[in-house]
A = this chain, B = another copy of it.
Amino acid sequence: MKKVLLASTALVLSAGVAAADVSVGGDGRMGIVSLNGADVSFTSRIRISFSASGETDGGLAFGGSIRADNASTVDGGGDVGTAGSVFVEGAFGKLSMGDVSGAPEAAVGDLSGVGLTGLGDFNEMVYLSNSDRPAARWDYSMGDLGLHVSADNPGPAGDQAYGVAVTYAMGDISMGLGYESVGSSDHIIGGVSAGFGDATVKVIYGTADLAGVDFDQYGASLDYVFGAATVTAFYTKAELGGVSGDAYGIGAAYDLGGGASLKGGIVDGDALTDASYDFGISMSF
Residues of A within 8 A of B (CB): 1-9, 11-13, 15, 18-30, 38-58, 60, 62-76, 78-81, 84-88, 95, 97-98, 134-136, 151, 153-156, 256-260, 281, 283-285
Cross-chain contact B78 with A75 (CB below 8 angstroms): no
Q: Which residues of the other chain, B, contact A53 by a CB distance below 8 angstroms?
A: 7, 285
Task: Among B1, B41, B46, B58, point to the contact of A156 (Cβ < 8 A).
Answer: B41
Task: Among B40, B60, B66, B134, point to the contact of A260 (Cβ < 8 A).
Answer: B60
Number of copies: 3
Task: Among B43, B60, B154, point to the contact of A256 (Cβ < 8 A).
Answer: B60
**In whole angstroms, what is the CA distance A19 to B1 when docked?**
11
Task: Among B19, B80, B258, point to the contact of A258 (Cβ < 8 A).
Answer: B19
Cross-chain contact B3 with A7 (CB below 8 angstroms): yes
CB distance from A154 to the nearest CB of B (A): 6
Q: Which residues of the other chain, B, contact A44 by a CB distance below 8 angstroms?
A: 81, 85-86, 97-98, 134, 136
Cross-chain contact B2 with A56 (CB below 8 angstroms): no
Closest 3 CB pairs between A and B? A57-B257, A41-B155, A7-B23
Cross-chain contact B58 with A257 (CB below 8 angstroms): yes
CB distance from A80 to the nearest CB of B (A): 7
Q: Which residues of the other chain, B, contact A13 by a CB distance below 8 angstroms?
A: 9, 13
Q: Which residues of the other chain, B, contact A1 by a CB distance below 8 angstroms?
A: 25, 27, 49, 51, 284
28 sampled A-B residue pairs with Cβ under 8 A: A1-B284, A2-B23, A2-B24, A3-B22, A4-B11, A4-B19, A6-B6, A7-B21, A18-B257, A20-B259, A22-B24, A26-B52, A28-B52, A30-B95, A30-B97, A40-B154, A42-B136, A44-B97, A46-B86, A47-B66, A53-B285, A55-B258, A57-B258, A58-B256, A62-B260, A63-B283, A64-B283, A69-B73
